[in-house]
Amino acid sequence: MSSRSAWRALHYSAKRRAFQSPAPYRCFSCARRAQEQPKSEHERMTHFGFSNVPESEKESRVGAVFSSVAASYDRMNDLMSLGVHRLWKDHFVRSLNPGSALPARDCDTPNQQGGGWTILDIAGGTGDIAFRMLDHATNINHDLETRVTISDINGDMLAEGRKRSLDTPYYNTRRLSFVEANAEHMPHIASESVDLYTVVFGIRNFTDKQAALNEAFRVLKPGGVFACMEFSKVDNPLFDAVYKRWNFSAIPLIGQVVAGDRDSYQYLVESIERFPSQEEFRDMIQTAGFMIPGRGFENLTGGIAAIHKGIKPIVKA
């Protein structure tokens, strides 16, 4: 073989080797599935966006997402709510009317009677809802006693909330506290000690949503209110098609351009799609033991989001 023929053979052989194993396409869900290793058949699985993962892994994966978006959380909600999440939150807080007079209950201690509300804000790390509730209690109901505990499983989200609290009158007061905890198991919160339990744009990320609802029922006082606002199912087919196209086409791309993080935004829109319907989630709340007022939910902006409420029954002796 001539030197020229030998060089040509080596050249084409190298080209074939170079193109035999192209790098896999970095689709968020596909990449997650490709990375998953076979698990024990006895290990319980759950969803992480459109992927199925072991329950033991979901918490850390969700934690990584929210650590990534903590500093841009409001911008993320602007994208996923088409900019109206602030109006929804204001309406949510007004509908609860924190700081208004509470009826006396047998479970109240002498210090609690007439002493403002005890509110537990779950997955509320950035303080967005907590600050609104304290403002409403203070400015609308002239109540200086209502207090909010912000609970979040993610330390980065809580750090963002603590930073934002510096610009509020509640910083370093007994009316506002922060705790890092898993909403599915809260032994540090006494049974029947909370007047209002709120969770806003958070419960869809929980590994065991029913366990969290059961825990909400435990910590609430009889007559206490569970209130949740979450992205939900759009009730108009045409609007639903437009909204889904926005979610799955635009939001991950904007996340890549604006925040340099396509994967986190891809997970978040997938998590909306996997969340139960309004009727299904209402039934889960009822299963936990709550009484459901009316039909149990209020759709916002055609069902892009929905407010769910449940009341812990008062059992008379």
| Binding-site annotation, residues for S-adenosyl-L-methionine | 126, 152, 182-183
Q: What single-letter amino acid sits at 201?
A: F
> In this structure, are residues 204 and 275 in contact, taking their beta carbons and an 8 Å threshold?
yes
Report how far residue 247's alpha carbon sits from residue 56's, in angstroms, rounded to the nearest whole number: 28
User: Left if phi > 0, otherwise alpha if psi is -120 to 50, otherwise beta: which for 147?
Assistant: beta
Pairing of β 194-200 and β 305-311? unpaired
Neighbours of 129 (CB within 10 A): 26
The values of phi and psi at residue 55, to 5°, are -55, -35
Distance of CA 13 to the CA centre of its chain: 53
> Could you give the 3-state DSSP secondary structure of residue 54?
strand
- Using the 8-state DSSP alphabet, how is residue 295 labeled? T
Helix (H) / strand (E) containing 247: none
N-term to C-term CA, the chain: 101
Distance, in Å, from the CA atom of 190 to the CA atom of 80, rounded to the nearest integer, reads 35
Residue stretches of the annotated binding site:
126, 152, 182-183
Residues 6+ apart with CB under 8 A from 21: none
Residues 6+ apart with CB under 8 A from 281: 228, 230, 232, 275, 297, 306, 308
Task: Report the alpha-carbon distance of residue 182 to residue 129 in Å, rounded.
Answer: 18
The DSSP-derived string for 120-182 is EEET-TT-HHHHHHHHHHHHTS--S--EEEEEES-HHHHHHHHHHHTTSTTTTSTTEEEEE--
